[in-house]
Amino acid sequence: MTSIDIAWLPVCRDEVLAPEHGVAVLLPGGEQAAVFRTHDGDLHALSNVDPFSGAAVLARGIVGDLAGVPMVASPMHKQHFDLRTGVCLEDPEVSVRVYPVRIEGGMIMVGSP
Amino acid sequence: MPRTLVVVGNGMVGHRLVQAVRERDQAGAWRVVVLAEEHRPAYDRVALTSYVDGWDPAVLSLPDNTFDHDDAVSLHLGDPVTSIDREAREVVTASGRHVDYDALVLATGSRPFVPPVPGRELDGCFVYRTIDDLDAIRERATQAVAARGGRRSAMVLGGGLLGLEAAKALRDMGLSPHVVELAPRLMPLQVDDGGGGLLRGLIEDLDVTVHTGTSTEKIVPDGDRLIARLSNGVELDLDLVVFSAGIRPRDDLARDAGLEVGERGGIVVDSNCRTGDPDVYAIGECARVGDMVYGLVAPGYAMADVVAGALTDSHADEFTGADMSTKLKLLGVDVASFGDAHAATEGAREIVFADALAGTYKKLVVSSGGETLLGGVLVGDATPYASLRPMVGRALPGEPAKLIAPVSDGGGVGVDALPDDAQICSCNAVTKGTIRKSIVEDGCADVAAVKKCTKAGTSCGSCVPVLKQLLNACGVEQSKALCEHFSHSRAELFEIARVTGIASFGELITKHGTGRGCDICKPAVASILASLGNGHILDGEQATLQDTNDKFLANLQRNGTYSVVPRVPGGEITPDKLMVIAEVARDYGLYTKITGGQRIDLFGAPVEDLPAIWKRLVEAGFESGHAYGKALRTVKSCVGSTWCRYGVQDSVGLAIELELRYRGLRSPHKLKSAVSGCARECAEARGKDFGVIATENGWNLYVGGNGGMMPRHADLLVSEVDKDTLIRTIDRFLMFYIRTADRLQRTSTWLESLDGGLDHVRDVVVEDSLGICDELERQMAQHIQDYTDEWAAVLDDPVKLAKFTSFVNAPGTPDPTISFRPERGQKVPVMLGTPGVRT
Ligand SMILES: Cc1cc2nc3c(=O)[nH]c(=O)nc-3n(C[C@H](O)[C@H](O)[C@H](O)COP(=O)(O)OP(=O)(O)OC[C@H]3O[C@@H](n4cnc5c(N)ncnc54)[C@H](O)[C@@H]3O)c2cc1C
């Protein structure tokens, strides 16, 4: 993240997002993020828009790992995205935006510049 | 101006020629006129006996045999050629048609030889060569049963390959056959005394009476029955007689046209299959090439390819003789004979294994020093055939006895031992080298791909096990691993889950896999758990395993919206229910389309609308149609005997019953079905995973059909059964498929890839050869008992309902990227650009 002024948006209560699920979040500027929780409890947030199809669907993908990399599979055409970096595992030239995410007071918060 | 090729005869070989010419004639140099004596387009005569299974001629049709879409071919059925005028280069047909030719190919096949037994022309005497012959035999058999009831009896004159096939057909028609053979053993051409003796024992166990070393002195009428007097003094009281004492080439046309024919028949041709007249060729069973007449289809195909090559200047190989090897299942008994089966080669020696208890006889013929394989005979178990036959004439890889020793002794031969020019598929003349190339260079990764690319294994199928071995040998490790997380195949995981009772993905991957899983193994395991009945597919952890379609119980479309398909069993719907669908579609602005499965698809619903849409549908009595699941989709039906003038059974009623029985059944891939109320087949049941066609006497069940990208006609599994038997058989078939198929493997590819194919499936689900049928039925009964509507259950569960929102922080707000435009009076998605990314 290059921006210094991050606005944190409360998304939902921590317990709403169970392991290996994803939820979509509408950000103030109209962008959409997808927040995922991996099996170990870690949270990740990526852009919700699948860059291959243009549809806002990544939050509905299957969460798992490939060769140890935590990933989500796009439900549209099954490309995989590294949850930590947003890079597409099949085509490293394609990536989706990563958003900061944290828990504050029992709420999941997503940061946007 | 294209030249004219006239083909006389539309049998197996004539058809192959036309196909090969059409494939190779890129330049369009030929127009082809086919003149055929029989009234139906080319069919699989080799499989003639299976016609008895369903009396459905369509099953025997050879692919692309009508040339409907090929203007370069005109096919005239039921109009045999009666004379050839070589001077004028024209043929004349029975109907008086005159056709000029630039090239003429005779593919007239053979006629059955009927020995001069007094009485052979009586009513009730038949030959065994065409579908019409079988229809006539059937009519006689049916009349006999109707007139006198009980088990009727028949005689087959001739105990060779065809005679035993005829005996099987008669037995399948409910007659008790006697086989009378002049030689001292059955199948004298193919097997030796030892093999013949064992074969006789196995066949007599099947209610066929065998008389060898015996001739028929005469046949006399006795009312509407026949009495046959045999040379061994026996008198047989019969309903019908089938002559099957060999075949004779149909060479009369050629003879009358002044072409040379052999002393013992057959149109004499050179190694290019040309007669003395350079414009006239002869191929198949009517031809005598290298002073041999071949009574098998593979050499005929090779001749067709030679002539097609010559006509199209592609590659004009010569016909250099052919393999007379045969492998068949006669009355359920494996018989194979290859190479020099009778040890006629000078100095040849024999190695024999006979096991009277197991009912197997295996003989190898080897060169005097034992270093070269010359031929062999296998009776009772022909498994080694596929790997032995290609080795004929080649150095043996080791001790010959090992090759046929029981497998537990390390017997059998590996495909590695074969050189590249060894022919693996003798029906289509495909060598090991060609198959290897298809795997290594063309990237064929499974048996189905190799079949498609090389044609190997597409005729008799006996080499399919070798194709598998070759795939393995080429390092296309037919890895059965589901994905990087499980080294097991889907079938193995299914067994693990079934036997251990493990009911969660977490436990399964911890105990039997590695890592956290992915979009391959998770839905596969979810499907297995669902097939085994583990509650709602969105309960707890299961929700994380489902693909988006199953997660939202709807089908994801390209713009992120979903489509909704309520179940309409059998395609039958009341006007009131139709109105509900219409109102829901109107109120939620859904694009509507009638599907190929006889129901209605409603498109363009955002996730947050799905519950409300389904609430209305469920209240009106609809339930999930599982259009989103790897599960039973629809059972299509024609209108059936209730309305249709031609229908013989209530296809709609049965379709509804089947659809309600199997609804919600999760399987390795989607399952489609259909029921047709008569042989006209308006429901297209033979394009389905399981299809049912009504007959006057019951139901025929076809399995493994497919439409789409890889069309395949379904195979007949059982015929003319009553409804209970039908349903029991489908229960078993589906559960067997669910247990053993790979992930995303449709029944069609599953059937193709199974060792033993359809026969194996029939053994398991009809004969219960594995003793699992009770359990398969129990499993299905459990599924039926546990079925509940998935959508109704979601509507009743606030936790599940809460997931149906576009945004967790703004429930009720629709996804702003979704937009529509009108087209032909409905709305369709507008796709926004996706800058910077290739699509
Ligand atoms: C029951 C049975 C089982 C068999 N099993 C096997 C097996 O397991 N393996 C194997 O390799 N082979 C088997 N065969 C043999 C195989 O079917 C033949 O080798 C193959 O059909 C030969 O093809 P063909 O085109 O030469 O002759 P056919 O298929 O007989 O075709 C010749 C066609 O020409 C037509 N015809 C003849 N005269 C004229 C004319 N004047 N004008 C127009 N049309 C004419 C005939 O009506 C016929 O339709 C079996 C045959 C039978 C009957």
CA–CA dist A89, B821 (Å, integer): 34
Is the Cβ pair B809, A60 closer than 8 Å? Answer: no
> Are both B125-245 and B416-478 of the same fold?
no
- CATH placement of domain B3-111+249-312: 3.50.50.60
- B48: CA distance to ligand 1 center in Å? 10
Q: What is the DSSP letter of B44?
A: -
Which chain A residue has the Cα nearest residue B509?
A64
Q: Which residues of chain B have a pLDDT value below 70? A: 315-316, 405-414, 460-461, 477-479, 832-839
CA–CA dist B503, B488 (Å, integer): 17
DSSP-assigned letters across all residues of chain A: ---S-PEEEEEEEGGGS-TT-EEEEE-TTS-EEEEEE-TTS-EEEEESB-TTT--B-GGGSEEEEETTEEEEE-TTT--EEETTT-BBSS-TT-B--EE-EEEETTEEEEEE-
Bridge-based pairing state of the strands B81-85 and A107-112: unpaired
Is the alpha carbon torsion for A84, A86, A90, A93 positive or negative? negative
Mutate to test the pocket of ligand 1, among B84, B297, B305, B463 (most ligand atoms within 8 A of CB): B297
Is the Cβ pair B558, A57 closer than 8 Å? Answer: no
Is the Cβ pair A26, B813 closer than 8 Å? Answer: yes
Q: Whose CA is nearest to atom 42 of ligand 1?
A: B80
Segment holding B32, helix H or strand E = strand B30-35
- Supply the pLDDT for residue B410: 35
**What CATH architecture applies to the domain B125-245?**
3-Layer(bba) Sandwich (3.50)
Q: What is the ipTM of this complex?
A: 0.94
Residue matched to tokens 């927040």: A35
CA–CA dist A83, A73 (Å, integer): 10
- B16: CA distance to ligand 1 center in Å? 12
Q: CATH topology for B630-788?
A: Sulfite Reductase Hemoprotein; domain 1 (3.30.413)
Is the Cβ pair A70, B543 closer than 8 Å? Answer: no
The two tokens of residue A21 are 């699920």
Is the Cβ pair A54, B834 closer than 8 Å? Answer: yes
Torsion of CA B457, B459, B463, B464, to 10 degrees: 50
Smallest Cα distance from B831 to chain A, Å: 7
Is the alpha carbon torsion for B706, B708, B710, B713 positive or negative? positive
Q: CATH topology for B325-413?
A: Enolase-like; domain 1 (3.30.390)
Residue A3 pLDDT class (50, 70, 90 cuts): very low
Chain A positions contacting chain B at CB under 8 Å are 9-12, 16-21, 23-26, 30, 32, 35, 38-39, 49, 51-57, 60-68, 70-71, 73, 75-76, 78, 80, 94
Contacts of B315 (CB under 8 A, 6+ apart): B309
Residue A89 pLDDT class (50, 70, 90 cuts): very high
Average pLDDT of span A12-18: 93
Of B517, B807, B833, the CB nearest to A64: B517
The two tokens of residue B650 are 């209530």
- Supply the pLDDT for residue B414: 61
Q: Cβ of B148: how many Cβ atoms within 10 Å?
A: 12
Class of domain A17-112: mainly beta
Which chain B residue has the Cα nearest residue A50?
B834
Judge whether residue A26 has pLDDT over 50. Answer: yes
Class of domain B416-478: mainly alpha
**What CATH architecture applies to the domain B552-624+794-805?**
Alpha-Beta Complex (3.90)
- Provide the residue ranges of all domains of chain A, joining segments of one domain with +: 17-112
Smallest Cα distance from B488 to chain A, Å: 17
Helix (H, G, I), strand (E, B) or coil at B231: coil
Residue ranges of the annotated binding site of B for siroheme are 682
Is the Cβ pair B522, A62 closer than 8 Å? Answer: yes
Mutate to test the pocket of ligand 1, among B6, B12, B460 (most ligand atoms within 8 A of CB): B12
- Supply the pLDDT for residue B835: 40
Q: Taking CB atoms and a 6 Å cutoff, what residues make up the pocket around ligand 1?
A: B 8-14, 35-38, 45-46, 48-49, 80-81, 107-110, 128-129, 162, 165, 250, 253, 284-285, 295-298, 300, 326, 328
Mutate to test the pocket of ligand 1, among B37, B165, B187, B319 (most ligand atoms within 8 A of CB): B37
Bridge-based pairing state of the strands B90-93 and B98-100: antiparallel
- Provide the residue ranges of all domains of chain B, joining segments of one domain with +: 3-111+249-312, 125-245, 325-413, 416-478, 490-546, 552-624+794-805, 630-788
Residue B567 CB-density burial (10 A; 0-12 exposed, 13-18 middle, 19+ buried)? buried
- Supply the pLDDT for residue B412: 45
The two tokens of residue B211 are 């008389």
Integer CA distances (angstroms), B695 to B641, B684, B692, B723, in order: 11, 15, 10, 12
Cα three-residue angle B605-B606-B607, rounded to 5 degrees: 115
Radius of gyration of chain B (CA): 31
Segment holding B127, helix H or strand E = strand B125-127
DSSP-assigned letters across all residues of B385-454: HHHHGGGTTSB-SS-HHHHHS-GGGT-S--GGGS-TTSEEETTTTEEHHHHHHHHHTS---SHHHHHHHH
